């Protein structure tokens, strides 16, 4: 009996996943990407423009809120759902290239509108006069670097940037190390107390410390300020701490240090706990004391975290405004760039000078951002 010959089924060619030429770099794909990124912000903009009753001051506020929530939640969900269904109709490769833009693109476009556009407009405004009506070239920048008022602000900002992050990191590292040596319950309590000021706003903390530094001249009643009460109790004369130059700048820095030390401690404590215990124990067996272990093992192991904490506090220090504005209003040589910028904008209505200070502040923060990005890249490479 002859053995039947079984022929394998003919292989079918794979189904093309995309149209000819529809690569991820083709003009068609890029047009679809841009369109998918723009369509949702455009639809939302047109919707809110056409709904005049949302802008009518006589319309019931509750109705406005309800409609805004329905549109903001349900409408956006429907738009994204519709975009996803539309993208799914495209060939597989083209859909894979367009879909990320359909979901992330609208957020990028909105960020560009609310962040990039104001930044560019501020840069242009820095070359205009105080009303932003005529072009005056570099006059505002020349004034910043020659007028003593602005030079004092820049000097103080540099001092804040040097002192506050350094003390926050050192104090946070010290508290984190000491807390790590305690029992679990004692560690939790001590960390909670040190971290507690983080729950207070900058304005609230400034008000609290204004009472701490409160001053009454002799003969005008008892000192209600904690610092003066202690100082006079030790036999000294009452001191107007916030007007004593140049130390008043240091007294204001103490407020931010008090607020941010808890943040530094929590982050650094987590990093310290991640240092291998076997490595430290091996160093102790080799004869290293605790200080040597801390200096040669713990610090190098958490160096990247220290840089991140330092740069984070530094950025916050460059932008500090509330503390100076609430306590001294920038008087008595305590002005900083951010406080001066707000004062120029909203007190003197000098938009050109306010924009100039904003640009200088932005430029000062850029190196810090570059350092952070490089550290993140190095960490990713070592993982």
Which sequence spans correspond to the domains of the chain? 27-125, 140-382
Q: At residue 55, does pLDDT exceed 80?
A: no
Find the helix packing angle between 247-273 and 202-212, rounded to 10°.
130
Domain 140-382 top-level CATH class: mainly alpha
Better pLDDT: 163 or 23: 163
Nearest to 266 by CA among 169, 359, 201, 360: 169
Q: At residue 314, does pLDDT exceed 50?
A: yes
Query: Which pLDDT score, from 0 to 100, does residue 53 have?
Result: 63
DSSP category for residue 239: -
Q: For the segment 141-180, what is each residue's pLDDT rounded down to a tens digit? A: 999 999 888 999 999 999 999 999 999 999 999 998 888 8
Stretch 124-139: mean pLDDT, rounded?
A: 88
Q: Using an 8 Å Cβ cutoff, are 180 and 266 in contact? A: no
What six digits make up the tokens of 182? Answer: 């305690």
Q: Mean pLDDT of all residues in the chain? A: 82
Query: Which pLDDT score, from 0 to 100, does residue 43 have?
Result: 65
Q: What angle do CA 339, 342, 348 make, to 5 degrees?
A: 120
Nearest to 354 by CA among 190, 63, 127, 169: 127
Query: Which pLDDT score, from 0 to 100, does residue 51 have?
Result: 63
Stretch 210-237: mean pLDDT, rounded?
A: 83
Stretch 242-255: mean pLDDT, rounded?
A: 91
Q: Please report, rounded to a whole number, the percentage of residues in the chain having pLDDT higher than 90.
A: 24
Query: Which pLDDT score, from 0 to 100, does residue 259 have?
Result: 92
Stretch 219-229: mean pLDDT, rounded?
A: 80
CA distance linking residue 152 with residue 86, whole number of Å: 58
| SS3 sequence of 130-158 | CCCCCECCCHHHHHHCCCHHHHHHHHHHH
Q: Using an 8 Å Cβ cutoff, are 280 and 238 in contact? A: no
Q: For the segment 72-122, what is each residue's pLDDT rounded down to a tens digit? A: 777 777 777 877 777 787 787 777 877 777 777 777 777 777 788 888 899
Q: At residue 127, does pLDDT exceed 90?
A: yes
Q: Residue 128 forms beta bridges with which residues?
A: 135
Q: Using an 8 Å Cβ cutoff, are 153 and 353 in contact? A: no
Buried b (16+ CB within 10 A) or exposed e, 179-205: beeeeeeebeeebeebbebeeeebeeb
Q: For the segment 318-360, what is each residue's pLDDT rounded down to a tens digit? A: 888 889 999 998 888 899 999 999 999 888 888 999 999 999 9
Torsion of CA 36, 40, 43, 45, to 10 degrees: -130
């Amino acid at each position: 009996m002859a053995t039947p010959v079984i022929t394998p089924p003919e292989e079918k060619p794979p189904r093309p996943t995309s149209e000819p030429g529809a690569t991820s770099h083709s003009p068609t794909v890029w047009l679809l990407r841009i369109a998918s990124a723009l369509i949702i912000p455009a639809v939302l903009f047109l919707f809110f423009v056409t709904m005049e009753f949302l802008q009518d001051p006589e319309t019931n506020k509750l109705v406005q809120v309800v409609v805004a929530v329905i549109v903001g939640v349900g409408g956006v969900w429907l738009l994204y759902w519709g975009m996803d269904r539309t993208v799914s109709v495209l060939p597989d490769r083209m859909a894979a290239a367009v879909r990320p833009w359909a979901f992330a693109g609208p957020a990028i476009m909105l960020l560009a509108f609310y962040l990039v556009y104001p930044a560019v407009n501020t840069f242009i405004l820095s070359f205009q006069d105080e009303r932003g009506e005529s072009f005056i070239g570099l006059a505002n920048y020349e004034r910043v670097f020659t007028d003593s008022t602005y030079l004092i602000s820049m000097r103080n900002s540099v001092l804040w940037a040097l002192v506050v992050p350094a003390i926050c990191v050192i104090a946070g590292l010290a508290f984190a190390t000491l807390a790590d040596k305690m029992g679990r319950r004692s560690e939790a309590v001590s960390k909670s107390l040190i971290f507690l000021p983080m729950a207070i706003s900058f304005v609230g903390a400034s008000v609290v410390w204004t009472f701490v530094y409160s001053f009454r001249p002799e003969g005008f009643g008892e000192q209600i300020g904690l610092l003066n009460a202690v100082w006079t109790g030790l036999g000294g004369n009452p001191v107007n701490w916030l007007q004593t130059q140049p130390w008043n700048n240091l007294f204001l820095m103490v407020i931010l240090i008090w607020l941010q030390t808890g943040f530094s401690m929590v982050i650094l404590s987590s990093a310290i706990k991640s240092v291998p215990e076997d490595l430290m124990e091996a160093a102790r067996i080799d004869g290293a004391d605790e200080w040597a272990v801390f200096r040669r093992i713990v610090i190098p192991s958490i160096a990247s975290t220290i840089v991140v904490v330092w740069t984070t506090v530094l950025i916050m220090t460059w932008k500090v405004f509330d503390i100076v504005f609430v306590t001294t209003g920038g008087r008595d040589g305590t002005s900083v760039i951010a406080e001066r910028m707000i004062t120029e904008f909203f007190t003197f209505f000098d938009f050109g000078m306010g924009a100039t200070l904003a640009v200088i502040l932005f430029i000062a923060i850029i190196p810090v951002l570059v350092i952070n990005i490089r550290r993140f890249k190095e960490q990713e490479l070592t993982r």
